[in-house]
Every structure is written in structure tokens, then in C-alpha cells.
Amino acid sequence: MKYQLEFIENYFYEVNQINRGTASHLAITIKNEMHNEYILQKIELGNKCAVKEKIKIAIANIKLDTKRCCLGLACGDDVEIDRLRLIDFMYRAYANGKNDKVDFLVFPEFYMPLQWISDVLAFVRKSGITVVSGLQYVTSGHQAYNNVAIFAPVNTGRYTSSVLFAREKNDYAPMERQILALEKYICVDQEKPVYQMINNRGIDYGLFLCYEFTDIIARALYKDKVDIIFTPEHNRDTSYFSNIIETTARDLHVFIVQANTSIYGDSRITGPFGRNDRNVLQIKGGDKDDIIIGTIELGKVKKYQQDEKVDFDNKIQEYLKYNRKQKYEEEQKLFKEQKIKIAKTSARFGGNK
């Protein structure tokens, strides 16, 4: 596994045609924060800039059956035809965005083999579109690793490069363990789960890989920290996840982008709104592989969050001010009562002289 991750990392330097010694000039900072047994990895990419008012997100609506998801467990599979489909998806996402550029392109869990990484990094560098995707299984001996990847553009003002962040799934689903066992493989949960929060081009976003989304403690890591959460999935229990997504979107006040295989469907973009307005985009499935695009008005939501916080803080101050005034009046009343009582006592003792 260590070799595979080093192999992926080397792609970054090769595709961007830079030496490792110049990496410090790419304006990439990574900081790990411990939250009990969880690690939140904060990643800042490129120069800081103002957030765009509107963000366009493309979701790949693709059929991926269980057999296809296990392709990464075998050797010598011919993936050239699927690679051409990937290139077609990326081209359409880019062509659609020439006048109003797509910002993110999201694929389901298990979609991408390692052989495509250099192609995707090159596309991201040229287009400026961030790609989020599950990777096909990587194996070492009898252990299988399920990874998720973010291919992000890095703009320093002088030029644009691309970088890959990949991590292993923190929590494997029970059904996934059974499927791997049938193929004579095992998988192991992370002792200290690692989640990533990325800031790029004024947008803060986080990432869950399918079953990880059921971890309520992990979801709380992103509270008041991100604008968007991406969830590549291969998930048949869409009703259960639908409830989690709609609740989390409002609890954390974020947009959630779910990309599921079209066999099970419910790929969607859900916002922190009421029942009639929350789904910016939602699709059940379909026979034809395609991309669907939705637009989120991130600027309005951010302004709403800021205004709500100001209003909330102002109300708290008003309540505190009212309480202080009320307390002062009560103290004054008590003081006057005590003063009258003392005066009466003094008069009584004075009258006995």
C-alpha cells in the first residue's frame, strides 16, 4: 500500500513537470488537527480569493454493478474503452463550461482505476475543474484498499498546476466486507479515522466515501467549517442515506453532493433548505451514462449564514442587556427595601433611648 501511495504522489510531480524541491512554491499547506480519536486534515490550496457567487457541479450518472466495482481486484483488465468514456465525460463538462465554467466533476465510488490518474491530473491542470472520484480497489497480498481521490487545480497567480489527494476509506460497510471475503480479500477500518477539509478558490469542502457518511461523530467534524460535502457512493440503501443527507444539510448548513451508481440512483445536490427547495438536482437512474449539472448559489448561502450569525449574536446581546437591566432594577428594588428596613430598625432603637 505504501508503494501504491508513493506511486500516486509521484504522478503529481511528473504531470506538472516540476521537481520535488519546488513543491514549497505551490502554495499548498496541510495541517492535521486531532479531535479525540479523529484526525481532521486541513488543506489550503493556492492563493486566497473571493468566493464565486454561483458554483456549477457536474455529476456523472454511470452504471457500476458490483462485478465492475471489483475489477480492481483482478489484473490485466482492459480499461481502454472505459477510459475513452471518461475522456468524453471530462470533455463535455469542460465544453459545457466554456461560457459558464463547471467547477466540480464528481464520479461514484469505485469508478476510477489508477491507470487514469495522469489523464485526470492533466485535464484538471488545463481546465481548472476539480474532479472527485472513488478509486478501484488497490490490493497488497490478501488485503484490499478502497480509496477516494480529489484532483484539484492549484492556482498561484503565475500558473495553474494540479494535485492529487487520496485517502483510504475509514469505515468499510458490512456488505463490502462480505463481497471482498468472497474474492478472498479482507479490509480493515482505520484506527484513527482521517477526514479532509480543503480550501481552494474561496470554497471550503469536505468528503465522505459512502458508508463513512453514517458516522455521526465524523459528520460533526465539518460543523461550521465547510460549504460543500461530496459523497461518492455505491449504495443500494438510498432511502436511509436520503434521510441522513437531508438532515445533515440543514444541521451543518451545507450543500451535499452525492454521486451514486445509476443502478441504485439518487445522485443529487441537496441544500440547507425546506422540503420544496432543498434538492437543486436529483436523478433516480437511467440507461444512458451521462453527466448532469446543477448550480448552487453559494454566495447567497454564505451571506445568509453571516447575517444569521450577526442576528443571533445581536439577540444574545439584547437578552444579556435585558437581563442585566432587569437584574439592576431588582437589585435597586432590594436595596431600597433594605434601606427602608434599616431606617425603621434605627428608628425603633432610637426610640428606646
Return the minimum-mean-pLDDT range out of 30-39, 116-125, 179-188, 306-315.
Answer: 306-315
Which set of grid coordinates corresponds to residue 314? 445581536
Please write the tens of the pLDDT for every residue from 294-326.
999 888 777 776 766 666 666 677 666 766 667
- To the nearest 10°, report the CA torsion of 244, 249, 253, 258: 120
Please write the tens of the pLDDT for every residue from 74-122.
544 455 556 667 777 777 777 765 566 789 999 999 888 888 888 899 8
Using the Cα atoms of residue 99, residue 100, residue 103 and residue 107 in order, give the sign of their dihedral: negative
Fold held by 2-296: Nitrilase/N-carbamoyl-D-aminoacid amidohydrolase (3.60.110)
Return the minimum-mean-pLDDT range out of 167-176, 194-203, 217-226, 275-284.
Answer: 275-284
Q: Cα–Cα distance between 60 and 110 in angstroms, integer?
A: 13
Q: Cα–Cα distance between 331 and 335 in angstroms, integer?
A: 6
Query: Nearest CA to 127 among 99, 163, 103, 156?
Result: 103
Question: What is the chain's mean pLDDT, rounded?
Answer: 80
The structure's pTM equals 0.78
Return the minimum-mean-pLDDT range out of 162-171, 230-239, 338-347.
Answer: 338-347
Q: Cα–Cα distance between 18 and 28 in angstroms, integer?
A: 14
The full set of domain ranges for the chain reads 2-296, 299-353
